[in-house]
Amino acid sequence: MVTSTAAAHKTPQQQTRVLIVGNYCHDVLMQKDTVKAESLGGAASFISNVVNGMSVSCNLVSKVGEDFKYPVDFTPIVIPTSKTTVFHAYFDLGIDGNGHQDRVLKRVSACDPIRPSDLPDARSNFGMAVGVGGEILPETLERMIETCDAVFVDIQALIRVFDSADGTVKLVKLEETEFYSLLPRIEVLKASSEEAVFMDVEEVRKWCCVVVTNGKEGCKVYWKDGELGISPFLANQKDPTGAGDSFLGGFCGGVGSRFGCA
């Protein structure tokens, strides 16, 4: 049964392998002001699919409005007074030089933020802070750090801001956010090559592992004493939406299954 309050959603739980935190959303793909496709979105939705596919036990905390319209494996917290987060992605017909499809992303509506009290009391081996619409608060990330053995963070949860007039997504420098002081306490920070320019990678790698994805060029992993380039597998890109999220889910699952939490 779908719950309508955070209190009803929060039940006693045993320790899980992975805790995923981030709101589901409705993604609407636009081209020349015409709706081309609508789908379930939100990093949490893509990551939970990957983690499920790896048969890793997980718990997911996500908030939606009563207008949420997709079946999901993990029941979200339904907020009667709020609408589900909605993004409109306006795609250009062209492809840039690196194989990325140009787009302008706008947040049309936003559900309530996820607060520390919404998180389960049980510990998790891995936490994944993967907000897309500004729903993860600094105090929520701090609570995840306290209750998870290791926390993986997508930088989009930290540096996205939204135009007050039309909801256009903009990025701010990581050091200007309230999350910056928490970086030494997380294990992995993932960013796309476009997002990485909003942080000082050389500084951040001193505190945590940094993974920078670069589309068809693969990714680079940076840590305090070294770095490693990883080539991609061949793929025919149809829509890049969720690719980075799925990568992070696989990265977390792979690290956890191969090396354990340490």
Active-site positions?
245
Strand-pair partners of 40: 26
Structure-block tokens of residue 145: 């750090």
| Whole-angstrom distance, CA of residue 47 vs CA of residue 64 | 17
Note the maximum CA span of the chain: 50
Distance CA 123, CA 53 (A): 22
Contacts of 77 (CB under 8 A, 6+ apart): 3, 5, 6, 9, 61, 62, 63, 64, 118
Residues contacting 91, CB < 8 A, separation 6+:
29, 30, 31, 36, 101, 102, 103
- Long-range contacts of residues 30-33, Cβ cutoff 8 Å, at least 24 apart: 30/88, 30/89, 30/90, 30/91, 31/90, 31/91, 31/93
Rounded Cα distance, 80 and 78, in Å: 6
